[in-house]
Amino acid sequence: MMMMKKMRVWMLLTFLTSVGQWYGRCYGCLLEERTGLLEIKALIDPNRVQGELSDWMDEKEGTGNCCEWSGIECDNSTRRVIHLSLNGAYDWSLGDWVLNASMFLPFKELQILD
């Protein structure tokens, strides 16, 4: 009897852990970070619809899960952006690229900026 209870508790914990991991991946990154990424995209090249950042769209246009966007990697548990790659995203025909460092404030756990 005791062994059966332990088995049920173990199965319940396994199920809840799986649901928790699925939930985190399903809903993607945080709103403040998604908004920050879209602001960076608008600054980099406001007229570009194809290219490196073409899958960076808000929920009305496409997926709001920025953890699935190109050049983005998120932490599996916190859902925060930990790696941001803008390599090849800027159209140099627009002139010099000037980014305000405050645009990166929403990214509390950012470890790599490329």
Q: Is the pLDDT of residue 105 over 90?
A: yes
Task: Kindly give the pairing relationship between strand 72-74 and strand 112-113.
Answer: unpaired
Whole-angstrom distance, CA of residue 34 vs CA of residue 81: 9
Q: Is the pLDDT of residue 93 over 60?
A: yes
**Which pLDDT tens digit goes with each residue over 49-59?**
557 788 888 76
pLDDT on residue 47: 67
Strand order in the sheet with 112-113: 72-74, 81-84, 112-113
pLDDT band at 26 (very low <50, low <70, confident <90, very high): very low
- The sign of the torsion formed by the CA atoms of 52, 65, 34, 101 equals negative
Whether this model's pTM surpasses 0.85:
no
Whole-angstrom distance, CA of residue 19 vs CA of residue 104: 31
Residue found under tokens 């790599």: 112
Instruction: Count how many domains the chain has.
Output: 1
Domain that holds residue 12: 2-113
